[in-house]
Amino acid sequence: MQEIKTVNVEEIMKQIRAEIAEKGLQDDAIEFEELIGIDSMEGPQGFNRKRLNENVTYLNEYWEVPAYRELYVSSGLKGKVFVFVKKVIRKLTKFYVEPIVNDQNQYNASVTRCMNEMKRFIRETQQENQELKKRIEELEKGR
């Protein structure tokens, strides 16, 4: 019967920390939230219409993922053989790849439609809010 070895993670971490302290290194690892371009779900900047429009435009342009991309032939016999092998592999995996890509495209289309509706909803809500603010101002003036 094979002997099962256990790993003491805490002991390993103590050793690593001791090595770090010995070498005088500092723990200056970047936190996930500090990474450039990473926003939390709420976003530290708040709602940004320009960012929304850019992302929805991108979704509308690139929602469809092609199942296959064009194969480029590099010069020479080696390049032609390489492309031939890729085509054979492509045909052999078609039954598996195409359904996955089709499912992904359906999901992408659904998300894109949803985001377009959200964009319309935001626009309409903002217009309603503007009208309500004007009405409130008029009513307050009439007091």
| DSSP category for residue 39 | -
Q: Is 120 exposed, middle or buried (0-12, 13-18, 19+ CB in 10 A)?
A: exposed
pLDDT means per 10 residues, the chain with 143 residues, are 68 81 70 53 70 92 90 82 91 93 95 95 95 94 81
pLDDT of residue 79: 85
Q: What is the pTM of this model?
A: 0.58
**Cα 134 to Cα 140: distance, rounded to the nearest angstrom:** 10
Q: Using an 8 Å Cβ cutoff, are 115 and 59 in contact?
A: yes
Angle (deg, nearest 10), helices 49-62 and 76-141: 140
Q: Using an 8 Å Cβ cutoff, are 76 and 143 in contact?
A: no
pLDDT of residue 98: 94
Take residue 136 and report the two structure tokens written for it.
């409130």
Q: How far from chain centre, in Å, is Cα 34?
A: 17
